[in-house]
Structure formats: C-alpha cells, structure tokens
A and B are shown apart, each in its own frame.
Chain A
Amino acid sequence: MRANLLIGVLLASSLSANASVSCPGIFQRQVNEDTKNTYYVLTFLGDLATVPAEAALRRAKLGRIETIVTPKMQDYVNKLSKRASASGPSIVLITCDFPMGAADLNRADMDDLSRRNVLATLWGGNEGDKLSVVYVSLPLYQLRMGNRRDMEVAWLRAAVTTDELDDWMRELGRDSIAQQALLALGVSLVAIKQGDWQFAKYSLCQVRSNLKLMAQEAVRPAPEELEQEIQKLLKQAMIKADQGASAAGLDLNAVQSIKLACSV
C-alpha cells in the first residue's frame, strides 16, 4: 500500500520531493532532456536489506545499477534497431526505492506510468523457495484486460549471492532470454503506436523466435499459457504492423533482415 500512495504522490506531482527521492531518474530526465523517444524500465528495489537506511546513501547505491544495466539494455535495443535499419528508442533503467506490494501499481497507476514512457516495471519476488524477477510489460498491460497479477511474467534469478544489490546487477546484466524477449516485445508495441512499422515488424519476429525459449525460462504463468497468450498477441500486432506499413506504402517483405527474421 505504501508504494501505491507513493506512486499516487509521484504521479500527481512529478517534481515533488517525495517523488524525486523515491524514483528520481525519470523526473530529472523529463525535465532536462528531450524524452520523446526515451523509454524507462522501472526497477523497484526498496525491499533490499543490504542497502543503508539513510535516503541519500540508498539513492547512491541503487543508482549504481542504473549506470551498469542501462547500457546493456540499450545494446540489445540498438541491435534490434540496427537489424531493422530503424532508429530505435533510448532505454533508461531507473531504480525506485520502495518495495512492491501485492496491491501496488494498479491499472490506473500503470496507465499513468505508460503516459510517462515507462516500458516495463520489474521487482524481486519468490516462486516457492526460489528468488525470481517479476516483470510487467506496460504496452502489453495496456492491451489486455485483467489485474496486475495476471500481467506478470516471472522467471528465476540465476545469480544468488549474499550481496543482494550486486545480485540484482548481475541478474539484470545477464542475457536472460525472458528479459530479451520482453524488452523486444515492449519496444515493438511502442513502435506500432508510433507508426514505426519496420522496427515493429522486425522486433515482433524476434519475439516470436524467442517465444518458446522465453516460456521455458518463465515460471509464471505456466509455459504453455504464456506461449499461447503472447502468440495470440503477436498475431494481432503483426497484422497491425503489416496494415500500417501497407497504408504507408512500405513493402516490409522487401527488407532483407525482416524477411530473414520473419522466416523463423
């Protein structure tokens, strides 16, 4: 509930002191930079026990993850855009200093975050006795009915050490197929909204290729369920991308990398 209240404050007044302490990067950047094509991945790390209690110290420690993980995510998105001969978005990882509760981040919150170019939110969870990453793709959330829990994709964390913060850094920095595919899915749905049909189609085909492997990594929802659900969504999104391209007079099948990507 605390997170709910904080997000409420945070969304109601983007430059309030509370907001900038809890999740500051997104606000600083929105003030200082042209953010039209910049998208954010919010990581909620407020439940880490090994970071200091004092706010400024916590902020500094959590912020380190941003500088390490952002280039890795950006590298992946750059690869997609390079292959599609498109200019993909900038991706910025932002750490938010509060724990995620079951009742937090409801649909209204997620809608608001979507308007702020938030691509995904993720936090730590438990699946049975194992630690997991819980990931919600916001563009996907926007397209589906249901509560937050239904939108979550969880996979097990590979690295478990005594230092939770470093553990997170390594987990988000490794090439987990689930993370790669969900990122590609997020940017492809955003590209459809923006009418960037080439980038959208390419990324959707990349997701389709990764789907089975991603489902195998996921522990929630069940692999078959996740695969079916995303397959359905991919079909609809592909149709949209094809129709959009056709209306714009683009022949996506004439783009070699797209032809190659979509033949898998």
Chain B
Amino acid sequence: MASMFRAWVALVIAVCLQGCATTVLTASCDNPKVSNRSIPFIYLVMLPYVYRGDSAPSEMHRSAVAALNDVARLQVVRMGAEASDMHVTLLQDGGKGCEIEMVHKAFTQKRLLKAQLLSTVVFYWGEVFEAEDRMIVQSHVRVLWKNPNDDVVSFETLLPRSDTRLRFNGMVPYSTVSFPPRDLPIGDEVGGGRLRMLLEARSGTMRGAEAVPLPKSFLINQRVGNWVELRDRETQTSSWVAVTDPGSNAKSLLPELSFAQALAAYASYSTAPNDSVAANSIRWLDEFRAAYPSTGGEAQRQSMAVADLIEAVLRLARNAGEADQLRAAELMDKAVAALPANSAALNLAGISRIERCCSTRQDAAEVQRRLDLARQLDVGNEVIAKNLLNWYRLLERKDVAVQPYDREEMRRRAEELAGALR
C-alpha cells in the first residue's frame, strides 16, 4: 500500500458500516485524507458548502450554510449505506478555508511522488450565494480516476466474414461537472431551521422514537441495523437517522448528490461490473433528472448530457436486451445534440452505434460524421483515430448500399490514417 495513505493519522473518526463495506470519516480540508483501512472501489470526498455571497455572511447565512452541510452530509451517509465498497470522507473547514483546487492538488501532487492512488476519487463541493432576495446553491462534482485508462469504455464488434473482433474505445466527457444553480428554500427563517426539519433525526432506533433536531456538528458513530448513530460533538448526545429512509426531502433539496452517487457507482462498475450497481446508478440518475424541469435549457445542458451518457454506457454494458439498446441509443443521440462540439461525446456516441450499424446509408453516415468531427476536434487523440480506422475496416465489408463513400475514397482515407498511426 502506498505510503501516502498509510502515513496519515489525523482522522477524526473512521467507522465501518455495513460489514465494512462502506467506511465514513471526517477530516480537515487542510489535510484531506482517505481511509487506509481497506481499498474500496471508490472514494467519495465531500467538501463543505461554502458561503460566497456578496458581503460578509450574516448569522442567518452562516446558519443556513451549516444546515445545508448537515443535510448534505447526512445524505452522503445514506448514500454510503446504499452503496457497496465505497469510502466516504467528509471534509471540514479547519480554519483556513476549503477549496476544491487545494484538496484536488493534495491528491494529485502526492501521485507525482510515485505514491499510487488506491482507488478512483469522486469529489463533491459547492457554494451558496445570493441572487436578489433568494439564496442559491450551486454544486459541482469531479472524478479523479485511479489509472489513466480506468475511464475507458470499450465496445467490440465482429468483422464480417472473419473471426476478428474490432475494438472501439471511448470515454464519458468532462472530469468536472457543474450543476445549475438552484434556490435554497430557507425563506426568511433565521438559522435555516426549516432545512434541518427536513431531516428526521430520532432519539432512538425506532420510527416512533421522539424526533430530535439534527446536531450542528456530529460524528457518525455506528450503525445498528438500518439506523446510523450521529453523536453531537459538543454535547456527546446521540441521535439516530434511518438509512433506509430514501430521504426524499434531502434528495429534492440536493439532487446533485444523487448524480454524485450515480457517478461513484458508475466508476465502481468500471472496476467490478455488477448488474445491481448498474441498476442503482441508473435509478440515482433518474432521481437527479426528476428534480429538474424537462425544459431546463442551457443551464442543465452539460450535466444532463453527462447523465445521459453514463446511463447509456451502463445500459449497453449490461446488455439486458432490446429495451436497453434502444434507450441507450436514444440517450446517446440526446447527449450529442446537447454537446455537438465535444469530441469525447461524439466519439462515444459514434462507436456505440457501430455494433448495430447499419441498415441504411444514413445510419452509416451518422457514425462517420460523429467520428470525423471527434477526430477534427481532438486531432492527436490516438483512440479516436484508431476507432475511425477500425470503422473503415468494418465499412469495407458492409454492403455497398450503406457505405457513405465509394470504395476508392474509403481506401484512401484508411491508408492516410493508417500511415499517420504507424
């Protein structure tokens, strides 16, 4: 195990949940850590929401941000309980601020010292600010893949009249996704009290137990059955939260967390494919989408397109039948329409159509268009160039009626590309 993750000792608490499948700890932003007690498929590192308003935060602002962080952290605890083999780090401001770039640097810089990152990391963070008389929250997510090729998605197809299988590679675009700003429903209530009321913390491990306010600052102490014990850091009193509760209020407040959860599951799936992980990821993406209007326009374009691509890849990967195939194709088309000049999206959407291609010349022309444009936009990308070359090899064996170019032109293109790849 790499020394960077072995050496740290400053964790506040590390607790095994669900038979050590998921661990949760809190740590300071000054010294961001992940657990070294196991090597999970995924690390989820959550930074606290910070106030970036126009002026110094009032007591109401401070309190609202603290409450939002409580909601988010609790939701992450719930997410951890639903996921398998994930490690969650909840970061806290140690007094010097909590900036994603600093935290991200802490993870990547150490890699330069040859220490290996043990698993892929999903970072989640956000800001609260004001717009006229409203409070707005904006969240972001970023993936740091353990190995440079861990994010590669592959599709294979048989070269007609041969035993050769052609492989096409791609990846979901963007390492960072920023979600649209959304209203924070605190109204005029001082201290964001209404936010906390969205949570159903209880004095004991029963539905009928007395409802108690969520502590302002807490440690996740233990799990008993379907309940997680939160310990107030000041008073040391306990409150309990049901992890099986879908937390619909919290989820509607921060649907971006469902996206982060889906993304973590997607990254986990790339390490260890598992149908239930794929199904959960798709379910969480649905939750994310459900929180936005279907005609949300430009603000949602990027995050929705990434959600669509992730779901499409999972559906194609699990290959559960015709319905999955059709839905995946529909989602890929939507994503390309939303990101028409993104080389990674074009490439992925192009190669995903190849296996079922092509009943018409129009089908083949669309694959060609996507791959050509992807290559133009990312001109030195060897993966895209190889996909295009394989595509020409495949086209050569297809019926002339569906070929977008005549044989001569296709051969010329293929030879040129092969020459550049040699």
Contact = CB atoms under 8 A, between A and B. Distances in A.
B176 interface: yes
B379 A209 contact: yes
B297 A161 contact: yes
A205 B181 contact: no
Interface string A152-191: 0000001101000010001001111100100000000000
Contacts of A95: none
Interface stretch (B50-58, B195-203, B205-213): B50-58
A260 B297 contact: no
Contact of B380 (A61, A67, A166, A202): A202
B54 A61 contact: yes
Contacts, number: 87
Interface string A84-125: 100000000000000000000000000000000000000000
A72 B380 CA distance: 19
Interface in B378-405: 378-382, 385
A161 B298 contact: yes
Nearest to A257: B380
B342 A263 contact: no
A206 B380 contact: yes
A149 interface: no
Given A60-B52, A60-B54, A75-B174, A261 B377 contact: no
B302 A173 contact: yes
A256 B54 contact: no
A180 B377 contact: yes
Given A60-B54, A205-B380, A264-B376, A166 B176 contact: no
The 3 A-B pairs with the shortest beta carbon distances in the complex, nearest first, are: A261-B380, A263-B420, A257-B380
A261 B343 CA distance: 14
A64 interface: yes
Contacts of A263: 416-417, 419-420
30 contacts: A52-B54, A57-B54, A57-B55, A60-B54, A60-B55, A64-B52, A64-B129, A71-B176, A75-B176, A159-B297, A161-B298, A161-B299, A166-B299, A170-B298, A170-B301, A173-B178, A175-B342, A176-B341, A180-B377, A205-B379, A209-B376, A210-B377, A213-B377, A257-B380, A257-B382, A260-B380, A263-B416, A263-B419, A263-B420, A264-B375
Contacts of A261: 379-380
Contacts of A240: none
A258 interface: yes
Interface of B: 52-55, 127, 129, 174-176, 178, 181, 297-299, 301-302, 339, 341-342, 375-382, 385, 416-417, 419-421
Contacts of B299: 161, 166, 170
A84 B378 CA distance: 12
Contacts of B339: 175
Contacts of B382: 256-257, 260
A60 B302 CA distance: 24
Contact of A159 (B298, B341, B377, B417): B298
A239 interface: no
Nearest to A259: B420
A248 to B, nearest CB: 20
A68 interface: yes
Contacts of A71: 176
B69 to A, nearest CB: 19
Given A57-B54, A213-B377, A257-B380, 8 more contacts: A60-B54, A60-B129, A67-B127, A68-B178, A161-B297, A175-B341, A261-B380, A263-B419
A260 B387 CA distance: 13
Contact of B381 (A83, A158, A213): A83
Nearest to B101: A71
A197 B53 CA distance: 44
B175 A75 contact: yes
A56 interface: yes
A79 interface: yes
Given A60-B53, A159-B298, A166-B299, A258 B174 contact: no
